[in-house]
Amino acid sequence: MQQTDPMMCTPNLEDAINYHPLVVSPEMALVDVIAHLSQAPFSHCTLGDLASETSTPEAVMARPTCALIMQDDEIVGILTERDIVRFAAAGMDCEHVTAADVMAHPVKTLPLADFKDIFAVMFLFRRYKIRHLPIVDDQNQLVGVAEPSSLRKVLKPANLLKLRRVSEVMSTSVIHAPPTCPVLNLAQLMAEHRVSCVVIVEPAADNGLKPIGIVTERDIVQFQAMQFDIGKITAAEVMSSPLFLLDPGDSLWAAHQQMQQLRVRRLVVSWNWGQDLGIVTQTSLLKVFDPLEMYGIIETLQQTIQQLEAERATYWRQQNAEVC
């Protein structure tokens, strides 16, 4: 009896829900929200420790990436790492600011009864340009939160990812800066370009760039939690380094494995001796499950099959002609 390949099983999407998201009140001070988001051990961290996404894997993976603002059991807003970066980039003092002052609202939610189709969920992420989707029950009560990273985990996409290359989903709009750049400027770059990281580079031969480190949204949140003066800290002091670099020809499965092993949410792609750079994120890995992308794969496979069948037919006609 043939056993079912666990890597090809239909995923249970409810396993992708975080049933214990961070929930705060509108009146909570922003500095306290940031502390919860960072979960940084204040008395034991150096700047280098804070910037490394690989230093404490379990803690990093367990940290929340958003805070739901709730009042009277109703979701009234949301705060994400990107919101904190935007706030930091503005150079504002969070000491007397509350969650309600800076939260994004209204919040897009999805009923648990509709949380069945992976493509529908991905469509919502793409349409509303969000990375967090609160799931509610039929009484509009919070059930949990779904994110691209949690969807990727339940999809178990080994076979499909092995067939696709990094070049197919990577972003080549890479924001980079020199190691002397102040962290405040990095936050401003992230906010301006709506990106989750800045790659730190040095000049290389033939006008190329050598990626030497990375600073992420998560790092900015941690620096805010520690109340550091990010205008006086440089990228060189806090960047995660050295980098594991991908090649555009690497498989997405290799990228997925490295993210799992290094406990990071993005990897830098470098080719042409540093003259070209790219970024692959957990979210971009989900692009292979986009319906249009999958239709394209099916169409390509059908064309390949038709071509092989035509070549086989031509081969047999030639063989028969030689026999006759």
DSSP secondary structure string for all residues of 102-142: H-B-S---EEGGGTT-HHHHHHHHHHHT-S-EEEE-TTS-E
Report the pLDDT averaged over residues 70-90.
93
Where does the pLDDT of residue 159 fall: very low under 50, low under 70, confident under 90, or very high at 90 and above?
A: low
58-62, 133-137, 194-198: which range is least confident on average?
Answer: 58-62
In a domain, 26, yes or no: yes
The domain that holds 254 is classified in CATH as 3.10.580.10
237 and 203 within one domain: yes
Counted domains in the chain: 2
Direct distance between the N- and C-terminal alpha carbons of the chain, in angstroms, rounded to an integer? 45
What pLDDT was estimated at residue 277?
93
| Owning domain of residue 148 | 9-155
Q: Are residues 135 and 187 in the same domain?
A: no
Higher pLDDT, 84 or 274: 84
- φ, ψ of residue 213 to 5 degrees: the values are -175, 180
Residue 313 falls inside a structural domain: no
Tokens 């894997």 correspond to what residue?
57
Q: Is the pLDDT of residue 43 over 50?
A: no
- Evaluate whether residue 300 is within a structural domain: no
Q: Are residues 110 and 231 in the same domain?
A: no
Q: What is the pLDDT of residue 62?
A: 53
Residue 179 has pLDDT above 90, yes or no: yes
Tokens 């975080």 map to which residue? 18
Residue type, 37: L
95 band by pLDDT with thresholds 50, 70 and 90: confident
Residues 113 and 174 in one domain: no
Does 86 share its domain with 175? Answer: no
Contact (CB, 8 A) for 238 and 47: yes
Q: φ and ψ at 20, to 5 degrees?
A: -130, 60
Q: Are residues 135 and 192 in the same domain?
A: no
Q: For residue 55, give both structure tokens.
A: 């230093």
- Do 148 and 16 lie in one domain? The reply is yes
Looking at the fold, whether 28 and 116 belong to one and the same domain comes out as yes
The pLDDT of residue 51 is 40
pLDDT bin (cut points 50, 70, 90) of residue 8 is very low
Same domain, 17 and 115: yes
Q: Would you say residue 307 lies in a domain?
A: no
Count of beta carbons in the 10 Å neighbourhood of residue 236:
14
Contact 83, 102 (CB under 8 A): yes
What pLDDT band is residue 117 in, cutting at 50, 70 and 90?
confident
Q: Please report whether residue 319 resides in a domain.
A: no
Compute the C-alpha angle 188/86/269, nearest 5°.
60
User: Confidence class of residue 293 from pLDDT cuts 50, 70 and 90?
Assistant: low
Q: Are residues 275 and 211 in the same domain?
A: yes
